[in-house]
Amino acid sequence: MLPFWEKAEALSSAECARAIALAGGDALRPAEVHGQHGYAPNPHVRDVATSFHPRAPETDWLYARVDGLFAEAAAHLDIAILPMAEDLQILRYGPGNHFQMWHSDAGHDLRGRRALSISIELSDAADYGGGDLELVPHALGRTRPPRRGAARIFPSQALHRVTPVIRGVRWALVNWAGAA
């Protein structure tokens, strides 16, 4: 399995605030997980609010940045990828929110569509506690990138989870690139 790749300043603080603003209003809804009966919310497995953002004039800047991050990581990890084919997701983790179950972003329902996953910290680490992105095996026991705007890119088949937030609010952006 490929190791993960990190970039400490993937987005500026102003860009993080701009990304969070995209999720404002009533764009947020309970996140879904894949189960026996398709996709549905299951707060025992994943309890987080999410919003989806397609390529559009107001998101072109963010897609360009994330596409560039995927290209940079793919070159570093020596893997050929395709452009993102799914809408960007912005996640809001409040107190008690989590994605506790160890999971893969390239499970049986998405096998072949996802090769690399990205998680970008949109909140300042001082604004919340918990909410750590844990990856097996390469980043197990390592906490999330501590800086606002930091990105972590990892193989989509890697098992990972997000521990419960114990105080404050954690915002993150996630997406995937497919294998070429």
Strand, coil or helix: 129: strand
Residues whose CB is less than 8 angstroms from the CB of residue 98 and which lie 6 or more positions away in sequence, other chains included: 46, 47, 48, 131, 161, 162, 163, 164, 165
Side chain identity, residue 178: G
Query: What is the domain partition of the chain in residue ranges?
Result: 5-25+57-177
Say which CATH topology domain 5-25+57-177 has: Jelly Rolls (2.60.120)
User: What does DSSP assign to residue 4?
Assistant: P
- Please give the chain's pLDDT, 180 residues, in tens: 457 889 999 999 999 999 999 998 778 999 998 777 788 999 989 999 999 999 999 999 999 999 999 999 999 999 999 989 999 999 999 999 999 888 888 876 556 688 999 999 999 999 999 999 888 866 555 555 568 999 999 999 889 999 999 999 999 999 999 988
pTM for the predicted model, two decimal places: 0.92
